[in-house]
Structure 1
């Protein structure tokens, strides 16, 4: 029986490294680092593990690293805190070269090569990194092909977003666009049906056909969909509410909408 590989620490660590000598970016957290290591095309520069926190999660990270011929550096927790101040790093930090950003052209190439009807999540101005991270996690779990958001007045892929997404940000294409309304119009010409989620307007979500080429559009936490975005949607839908709460958090609403669409899509296949 193959003996389980243990942590190795062939090098000494100094937290006072001149970071200008490195390219790339720091990412942290068990799920995020695992997702990075599972992407063969991602170039890893360094991997640090908390030597006082040897557990199953960190052992799995070390095993993945060794499969890629990487030697993790075992360091003190204080060293990790210096590398990522204020971060909930869970005892692991990785430095990797950033992958090229997914572009609008890349999005349409992706859509053209799909073997299933396109399934997109479009977020109109989500500014809270925890909400975006949760939306990405839910989208990846629901089988969404890509998530789209505007570049302006919206949060991008920050370290907090990546951490909250539990690795989904490393797996699902995230496209930031300059003009969201224009892109939605282009998607319509490609045959996608655009459904915007609103409060107390439109038809019930559960009465709308969501099984074909689809883009679900959700708005910002406070103001919902912008006027132009609403006008470019083919249909507006609301989630029926039966309690006294007037609205749902955008990430919760995204989960309800995405999995209702997924339910219909699976049912149509069966």
Structure 2
């Protein structure tokens, strides 16, 4: 007899209709299922495993390919214990679910983690070295994911997003971040001037990062508590925002290209800060 794949047998939370019919109705005071708008569909092994490691209770559904069953055994056992539905599906269906060919064999629907706010975070941030990224106008999810990955690697304490920014965690960003999306908190703020004032009171220096015209990143002393302000892809940041910062920095290069991609620039900036505080 052919063996049924996990997710389709009697032990799966997504068992047959007969099992569903036999299951007693939930009590009237049971918590309602979250609105679908509160969920985000993630894909990629590291992205899904990071959610499982940091906030497993956020996982609502799991889809995986047959080949990943051995690698995801702890997650599958947790799903069974917590009655979280999972299904073993074909490659083509995974591609449709993720709307991407880069799903790496696993897709998950998880509760969206809403960004925090600046003031509570500042009350909790410890003294000593601390680096923060302020993303002004960045919109490409792949750039965002790459920035999240670098931020996690170099130990960035938070990423700041203006309230007007539509940037948020998506499946594409989480996959490119390779787990980094769960390691770095996102914070939103409404008023840029107020945010700058609060950060300065907490001992932070704000550095505008410019394609050209700023001080040499590698020849400028960097403070231990630093906020790198990164502008939008293409047009960069506004002159007014750059003037409002305490430092204006540029990454020197050969001049063969106009500038680095914003995600690549973020990695260079963070490496320079890490090297400086580790010296």
Report the TM-score when normalising by structure 1: 0.82
Q: Does 1:106 align with 2:120?
A: yes
Q: Does 1:257 align with 2:272?
A: no
Q: Does 1:26 align with 2:41?
A: yes
Distance 1:265 1:213 in 2: 10
Aligned-partner SS, 1:60: coil
Partner of 1:159: 171
Change (3 A) 1:243 1:226: closer
Which stretch of structure 1 is more off in the superposition, 191-200 or 179-188? 179-188
Q: Does 1:171 align with 2:186?
A: no
Partner of 1:233: 245
| Offset at residue 87 of structure 1 (A) | 5.7
Equivalent of residue 73 in structure 2, options 56, 62, 82: 62
Partner of 2:20: none
| Offset at residue 155 of structure 1 (A) | 2.5
Which stretch of structure 1 is more off in the superposition, 183-192 or 39-48? 39-48
1:172-191 aligned at under 5 Å gives the runs 172-191=184-203
| Offset at residue 13 of structure 1 (A) | 7.4
Q: 1:30·1:92 contact (CA, 8 Å) conserved in 2?
A: yes
Q: 2:222·2:273 contact (CA, 8 Å) conserved in 1?
A: yes
Which stretch of structure 1 is more off in the superposition, 91-100 or 234-243? 91-100
Deviation sequence 1:139-197 (CA, Å, 0-9, x none): 11011101112232552222211121111112210123223343123211221011111
Partner of 1:17: none
Distance 2:100 2:267 in 1: 29
In structure 1, list runs of 5 or more residues that go unmatched. 1-6, 15-19
Deviation sequence 1:85-105 (CA, Å, 0-9, x none): 346322211122233432223
Equivalent of residue 235 in structure 2, options 220, 223, 231: 223
Q: Does 1:8 align with 2:19?
A: no
What's the C-alpha RMSD, in Å, of the aligned pairs?
2.5
Change (3 A) 1:115 1:60: farther
Q: 2:132·2:159 contact (CA, 8 Å) conserved in 1?
A: yes
In the TM superposition, structure 1's runs of 4+ consecutive aligned residues that sit over 4 Å from their partners are 20-23
Distance 2:34 2:96 in 1: 16
Deviation sequence 1:63-92 (CA, Å, 0-9, x none): 234257357432233443443334632221
Distance 2:155 2:62 in 1: 30
| Offset at residue 50 of structure 1 (A) | 1.4
Aligned-partner SS, 2:104: coil
Partner of 1:212: 224
| Offset at residue 255 of structure 1 (A) | 0.7
Q: 2:65·2:105 contact (CA, 8 Å) conserved in 1?
A: yes
Change (3 A) 1:115 1:212: same
Q: 1:37·1:65 contact (CA, 8 Å) conserved in 2?
A: no
In structure 2, list runs of 5 or more residues that go unmatched. 17-31
Distance 1:185 1:213 in 2: 14
